[in-house]
Amino acid sequence: MSDRVIELFLFDVLVAILKIEEVSKRFNNADELKHDFMAWDTTIREFEIIGEATNQLINNSILENHNRKVVDFRNILIHHYFGIDEDAVWSVINDYLYDFKKLIITKSKNIDETLRTELVKDLCNENAHLLFVVDILKQI
């Protein structure tokens, strides 16, 4: 098992969500997103990160088990990479991601203040080139 601070997985999820939001806002529909291979691959990769981090958060009782659907979505993306339904991905982005982001932000704000401050500072430095990420992290 890793010595990684478990709460850091909350920020892994948040940063991945922010990246998906940033990439997907350039597109009007699922088909446009899928046909831009860099945007599509980025989106799928960030969903994989969200799913793996969510699994860690569930296993460590930071998120509740009903969030396992996020992990299940990740598993579909990983194991059915040759037949990913772009409409399903688009639907998750537009219909579910915002609420999950709100949950993750709430959980992040509930972390011990000293630890949260240290994690946010490190993540702001690590993501200094992504102002849309840094702006949100500073609000936490």
How does pLDDT run across 21-55, given as a tens digit for each residue? 999 999 999 999 999 999 999 999 999 999 999 99
Q: What values do phi and psi take at 70, rounded to 5?
A: -65, -45
DSSP conformation class of 20 = H
Cα–Cα distance for residue pair 14/99, rounded to 1 Å? 12
Q: Which domain holds residue 126?
A: 8-139
| 93 within a domain of the structure (yes/no) | yes
| 2 within a domain of the structure (yes/no) | no
The reported pTM is 0.94
Q: What is the pLDDT at residue 81?
A: 66
Domain total in the chain: 1
| 3 within a domain of the structure (yes/no) | no
| 73 within a domain of the structure (yes/no) | yes
| 27 within a domain of the structure (yes/no) | yes
CA angle 65, 71, 72 (to 5 degrees): 105
| 28 within a domain of the structure (yes/no) | yes
Q: What is the pLDDT at residue 1?
A: 47
| 1 within a domain of the structure (yes/no) | no
| 44 within a domain of the structure (yes/no) | yes
How does pLDDT run across 83-127, given as a tens digit for each residue? 789 999 999 999 999 999 999 999 999 999 999 999 999 999 999
